[in-house]
Amino acid sequence: VAPVPAGTDHADYEARATAIEASMDGIAVLAPDETYDYLNQAHAEMYGYDSRTPFYEETWEMCYEPDERERFHEEIMPTLYEEGSWRGDATGVRRDGSTFPQELSLSLTPDGRVVGIVRDVTDRREREAELRARAERLAEFSRLLAHDLRNPLAVARANAEFLEMEPDDPEARLDALTESLDRVEELVSDALGDAKAGEG
């Protein structure tokens, strides 16, 4: 545990430390040489570790695969040291080798330390993908439905127009109109049934 900074109210410091430990986001502090100086338990667990011990004396590189480490070295860390902060998306790697999408916020302190806040966004990305797939299915459903309905609706409209002009055989026109509208209802019912099945 880091010492209480000079001039800091002890109770206030304890409250902040408790909040950091309780956070569901991973929070870490890197020393100027980019090795771990502090991390909360959520940070360790996010990367698949039960203990924080494996992180100490290691750098942030242990949390990323080679391609992502290269991006950090070439893009992210230079921006952080130049501008004092960086925020964006990254892909972390867990202890078992599996990867996960994350939102990452990095800030540089006056004494050269790096404060990182990491959020695992796996659930949100899966939900977003599910919603995109559903939107695509609905768009396809709408396109097909519009195509299938075009002909019976055109027939129904034509017969309705003939009825307005009082044709010689209104009964036949009514039968044709009813048949067309029945077909429309059938198509809508079938399409809705398919849509519900797809949602399942």
Residues 116-159 pLDDT 10s = 999 999 998 888 888 788 778 777 777 776 676 667 777 777 76
For residue 161, give every residue at least 6 positions away whose Cβ sits within 8 Å of its Cβ, in sequence order, or none. none
- Distance CA(25)–CA(20), nearest Å, equals 9
Whether the full predicted model's pTM is greater than 0.75, yes or no, is no
The pLDDT value given to residue 162? 66
Percent helix, strand and coil across the chain, each to the nearest 5: 60, 20, 20
Which ranges of 72-169 would DSSP assign to H, the alpha helix?
Answer: 77-83, 122-164
Higher pLDDT, 81 or 193: 81
Residues 8-51 pLDDT 10s = 555 565 656 666 776 789 999 999 999 999 999 999 999 999 99
Joined tokens for residue 177: 């109109």
* Nearest in space to 106 (alpha carbons), one of 34, 14, 50: 34
